[in-house]
Structure 1
C-alpha cells in the first residue's frame, strides 16, 4: 500500500492555524502527517496537535535524534503521543548530525551507528511495557519501566542512508527513512532493504513554474545539507561525487557562496521537485513507481500559499 504524507508545519503557517487543513487531509487523499526536528518545531508537538484534529491520519517523526533525548525520555514522549493516537504513531529515529547534536544541543555525537542501534533495541523493550535493565555498548539503563505504555504497538523506523544502517533497518526495524534522493535512486536503496520493508522519504517540493527561483532555493538547501559528512558519503555512494566535487571544494575552504553557485542545475533538478502542481504530482509519482512506500511532501517556501499548494498536490487529484 502506498501512503501519502505531508510534512508539517508548513512554511510560514503558525502551528494552531493548521487545524482546518489537518481535518481535511484525509479527504484530499493524504494518509500521514510527519514532522522533522532540527531547529524549528520539535518532532512531537505538531503531532500532538494533529492527533486532536484528526483520528484518521498516521502520525510519524522523520526523525527524532537519538542523542538529544535520553532513552527514557524518548520512550515517554512516544508513549504520550501514542496515548493520544492509539495505533496511529510511527516513530522514526536517527543519528542526526554533529551540527544538530554537538553545536546546537551541546551533546557529543559519538558512535552514531551504535547509539542508533542501541536506542532501537531499548525502545523495542520499553514501548512494550517491559522493565529494562541493560548495558548496551553505548549506554546503560537500570530498571526503567514506562508507567503508561502504548496500548498498541508502535512501529520504529530508522533513518538510514548507506548500506550499514539500511541493513540494520531491514534486520531490526519496521521501516527505513532516507533523505535527499532522486526517483532514480530509490531502486538502489531497495536493493539494500528488500521489497517488503516500508521506505519513507521527504520529497522536497517547490510549487513554482519559475525554474530559476526553484533552483536558487534548491542550491541553498543542497549546499547546506549535502556538505555534511553523512550526506556527502551518501551521494558519493549514489554516484554524485563528481557532480558535487566543486561544491565540496568550495565548502571545505569556507567559501560558502561559491559552494552554492557550484551546485549544478541537473543535481537540483534531480533532488528538488519543481514546476506547476501537475508537473510536481507527476514527479512525486515517479518516486512511488520506483519503490518509495511513503513519500512525504516537504514544501519549500516560494511565496505562494502553502495550504493551497497542499491542496493542489493532493493525491486525490491524480
Structure 2
C-alpha cells in the first residue's frame, strides 16, 4: 500500500495537545506516525498516546539508538508498545551519532555496525519470546526472557545510510530507514536494498514561499547534521562531496558562519523541501515516485499554525 507518514510531536506543540490532530490523521490520508529521539521527547511515549488516539495508524520509531538503552530495556519498551498497537508498531533502531551517544548519554560509540547488527539479532530472539543467553561481539545477555512477549512481534527496521548497513537492513531486518537525502538520491539507495524492501525516509519540509528564510533554516540544519562524520560519508557516497567540501573546511576551521554561507542553494533546495503547501506536497510525492516506500514528513517551523500545515501536507486523494 502507499504510505504517508508524519513526525510527531510537532515542534512547539505540547504533547497532550496533539490529540486533536492525531485523531484526524487517518481521515486526512496519513497511514503512519513516527517519532525521533534526540533531546526532546523519547521515541516511545508519543506513540503510546497515538496508539490510543488513532488505532488505525501504523506507529514507528525513527530511530531509537542501540547504545542508550540496555538490550533488555529496549526489548521491554518495544514489547510494551507492540502490545498497545498489535501489528501496527515498527521498531526502528540505529547507531545514532557520537554527539547523542557519547556527549549526551555517556556511552561509548564503538563498532556501530556490529552493535546495530547484534542488537537486531538479540531483538529478533527476545521479541519472539525466547530466553536469550548469548555472547554477541559487542555485548552479552544472560537468561533474559520477556514476561510479556508481544504477539505478533513488531517489525524491526534499521537506520541505514551506506551500502553495508543498507544491505544488513535488506537481508536481516524488515526494511531500511534513511535520512537527509534528495528525491533524486532514492534510486541509488533502492538499488542497494532491492525493489521489495521497505524504504522509509524522514523528509524535512518547510512550507513557506519565503525562500531566503527557508534556505537560512536549511543551511543551519545542514551544517549541523552533515558535518557529522557518518552523514559526511553518506553524502560523499551520494556524490555530493565536492559541493559540501567548502562547508566541511569552514566547519573544521571553527567558522560556523562561513560554513553556512558556502552551502550552495542547490544543495539546500534538494535536501529541504520548501515552497507553497501544494508544492511541498508534490515534492514529497516525488520521493515516492523515485522509489521511496514511506515518506515521513518532518514539518519545520514557519510561524504558521502547525496543525493547518499538517493537514495541508496530507496526501492528495
Q: One fold, TM greater than 0.5?
A: yes
Displacement of 1:240 in angstroms is 0.5
Instruction: Say if 2:118 and 2:138, in contact at 8 Å, map to a contact too.
Output: yes
Displacement of 1:242 in angstroms is 0.6
| Secondary structure of the structure 1 residue equivalent to 2:122 | helix
In the alignment, which residue of structure 2 is the partner of 1:56? 56
In the alignment, which residue of structure 2 is the partner of 1:187? 187
Pairs aligned (count): 317
In the alignment, which residue of structure 2 is the partner of 1:218? 218
Would you identify which runs of 4 or more consecutive aligned residues in structure 1 move more than 2 Å?
none
In the alignment, which residue of structure 2 is the partner of 1:274? 274
- CA RMSD across the alignment: 0.6
In the alignment, which residue of structure 2 is the partner of 1:152? 152
Displacement of 1:2 in angstroms is 1.8
In the alignment, which residue of structure 1 is the partner of 2:209? 209
Q: For residues 10-89 of structure 1, what are the structure 2 equivalents within 5 Å?
A: 10-89=10-89
Higher mean alpha-carbon deviation, 149-158 vs 94-103, is at: 149-158
What is the CA–CA distance in structure 2 between the aligned matches of 1:190 and 1:298, rounded to whole Å? Answer: 21
In the alignment, which residue of structure 1 is the partner of 2:197? 197
What is the CA–CA distance in structure 2 between the aligned matches of 1:105 and 1:255, rounded to whole Å? Answer: 27
| Secondary structure of the structure 1 residue equivalent to 2:24 | helix
Higher mean alpha-carbon deviation, 254-263 vs 56-65, is at: 254-263
Displacement of 1:171 in angstroms is 1.0
Which digits, 9 at most, give the CA deviation of each residue in 1:245-283, with x for residues without a partner?
110001111111111111110000000110001100110
Listed as ranges, the gaps of 5+ residues in structure 1 are: none
Listed as ranges, the gaps of 5+ residues in structure 2 are: none
What is the CA–CA distance in structure 1 between the aligned matches of 2:245 and 2:304, rounded to whole Å? Answer: 33
| Secondary structure of the structure 1 residue equivalent to 2:202 | strand
| Secondary structure of the structure 2 residue equivalent to 1:201 | strand
Instruction: Say if 2:79 and 2:153, in contact at 8 Å, map to a contact too.
Output: no
Displacement of 1:227 in angstroms is 0.2
